[in-house]
Amino acid sequence: MYKNLRWKFLVTAIVTVLAVWSFVPPKQKVKLGLDLQGGLELIYRVETDAALKIETDTTSEQLADALKTGAVTVQAVKVTSLTSFEVTGVQPANDQQFRTLAEQTTGSFGRDAGDTAGSYVFTMKPNIVVNRRSEAVAQAIQTIERRINELGVSEPLVAPYGSKGDQIIIQLPGLKNMAQAKSIIRSTAQLEIKLVEGEAGDEVALLASHGGKVPDDMEVHPGASGVKGDGGKTFYLVRKIAAVTGRDLRNASATLDENNLPAVKFTLNSDGVAKFTRVTGDNVGRQLAIILDNIVQSAPRIESRISQPEARITGSFTQQEAQDLSLVLRSGALPAPLTPQGQSEVGPTLGQDSIRAGVLASVVGLVLVTMFMLVYYKLAGINAFVSVALNLVILLGFIAYFNAVMTLPGIAGFVLTIGMGVDSNVLIFERIREELDAKKPPRQAIALGFDRVFTTIIDTHVSSLIAAAFLFQFGTGPIRGFATTLAFGLASNVFTAVFVSRTLFEFMLSRRPSGSQQQLSI
């Protein structure tokens, strides 16, 4: 009589109940992937050239501002390519001071002498170019993930895609409003607050006092319709360097203005508050343009020094637009524009068909395997059936408990789990047969069979687990779904094949009279 059978059955029962509790009801507790519940798959290319251009423009503007502050006169600071800009007209007397300021503001660029006297060419360092491109993709992925998470999409996937390193794949399972999602994903949401140097109804009138052209340290932005209250457009001449940018934001939310119209309230971080306090204190009476994606949303006049961390963007927003804008501001601006490369939609009907087909394949596979085991191993085949069926129950419990996403390849992993379970049982049964053929008593044959096969089962499962780890690390959504199911299946299979199956054999032997040498049917 096996004295420890009671606790073994108790452990098996507890594991089974916990597994069933984890996934029942399955419609609520088992998360389905894009291919099973429907949704949207998008592929975008990150325009990394734009990220390099922004880096070059920003650095050249910072150098020009530093030279102006340091009273170093130059002829021009001009961007010549995506990764280079040129400074001309540096006076010999100011050359040393120019070099010092350049070293302080252009650390990512190398400096070479230009073709003419007093000129220098700044070129982005090759390693910086590579880093900025990869950083643009990584930052785009992080920004999109934050935006999608706030949309409430269950288990989205945002990952690198393709061999060129500049593409992103986005999978949104169960998404309802696809147009809104695509709009939010692609929105750059570049927020800038700049001092206004002039405004007019058209560009010609705006630039009349500047010789008909835009000064080097300024730029023109159109105002959104209705900024002036008359439904027309207004053009603003603003400083090129922003006083405050979206990087200085801490939070943003939809609100209402004094006219009970939708607006967006944003809160600045400590650096942003310091910048905002300084620019408002130094420019009382002037206008401050709030610019979003190169469009002036509002241009309020500075009545006094403002040291509060909160500010507001007003304009012709709908309530939904205000909410979407606050969402993208909270998640941060994209480092570069996104270009669509592909789109596919999966309907929920197709997903339900896939689920039915996967369940049918699993059931048919389990039935056929059970029939084979019963014919080949006789009553021991029942043992194998219980072991494999319990394996599938525990596997489903694992998936639900750890919030893993079930995909179509994941269902294939279920079928594979049936095969692994049968394979483990075959190894054990054949080893028991060998011991019985060697005239060992049934109890000793079972003990030796399980003990001697245990190492082999562990070796094969660890090898498969390593493969699953690589699939999960380097694969995308569907492949990760398969790897997840495979890993959980391997863990549950060791428990059912070694622990549960052995418990069932010991129970069968415990029902025999003590000292019975009746041959085991296997």
Q: Are residues 358 and 284 in the same domain?
A: no
Q: Which residue segment(s) compose the domain that 335 sits in?
A: 187-340
Residue 304: per-residue pLDDT: 76
| Dihedral class, residue 229 (left if φ above 0, else alpha if ψ from -120 to 50, else beta) | left
Which of residues 71, 94, 125 is at a domain's end? Answer: 125
Q: Tell me the three state secondary structure of residue 173.
A: strand
Of 468, 461, 452, 465, nearest to 502 by C-alpha is 452
Q: Are residues 407 and 460 in the same domain?
A: yes
Residue 124: per-residue pLDDT: 94
Residue 155: per-residue pLDDT: 65
Residue 1: per-residue pLDDT: 44
Q: Are residues 373 and 415 in the same domain?
A: yes
Strand runs labelled E in 71-152: 76-81, 84-88, 109-113, 120-124
Q: Which tokens in the block code for residue 215?
A: 């000064």
Q: Are residues 263 and 359 in the same domain?
A: no
Q: Are residues 101 and 207 in the same domain?
A: no
- Could you identify the residue written with the tokens 């809104």? 180
- CATH number at 87 reads 3.30.1240
Which of residues 283, 318, 340 is at a domain's end? Answer: 340
Q: Which tokens in the block code for residue 411?
A: 């269902």
Q: Are residues 98 and 198 in the same domain?
A: no
Residue 140: per-residue pLDDT: 85
How many domains does the chain contain in total?
A: 3
Which of residues 323, 340, 357 is at a domain's end? Answer: 340
Residue 149 lies in a domain: no
DSSP annotation of 285: T
Residue 176 lies in a domain: no
DSSP per-residue string spanning 293-335:
TTEEEE--B--S----SEEEE-SS--HHHHHHHHHHHHH---S
Q: Which tokens in the block code for residue 229?
A: 């209250």
Q: Which tokens in the block code for residue 198?
A: 């002039």
274, 284, 301, 365, 406 from 279: Cα distances, Å: 9, 9, 12, 72, 53
- CATH number at 294 reads 3.30.1360.200
- CATH number at 500 reads 1.20.1640.10
Q: Are residues 322 and 397 in the same domain?
A: no
Q: What is the pLDDT along the chain (522 residues), one digit of tens a residue?
A: 455 788 888 998 999 999 999 888 887 888 777 777 777 888 999 989 988 988 898 888 888 888 888 888 888 888 999 999 999 998 888 889 999 988 988 888 999 988 888 899 999 999 999 988 988 888 888 888 877 776 666 667 788 888 788 899 888 877 766 777 777 777 766 778 888 888 887 778 788 777 778 887 788 888 864 444 445 678 888 888 788 777 777 777 778 777 777 877 778 788 778 888 888 888 888 888 888 777 887 787 887 777 777 767 666 667 777 777 776 666 666 777 888 888 877 666 566 777 788 788 888 888 888 888 888 888 788 888 888 889 989 998 988 888 877 777 888 888 888 888 888 888 888 888 888 888 888 888 888 888 888 888 888 889 889 988 988 887 766 677 788 888 998 999 999 988 988 888 888 877 766 554 455 566
Residue 375 lies in a domain: yes
Q: Are residues 358 and 496 in the same domain?
A: yes
Residue 228: per-residue pLDDT: 42
| Cα 476 from Cα 138, distance rounded (Å) | 16
| Cα 502 from Cα 299, distance rounded (Å) | 78
Q: Are residues 367 and 312 in the same domain?
A: no
Residue 84: per-residue pLDDT: 94
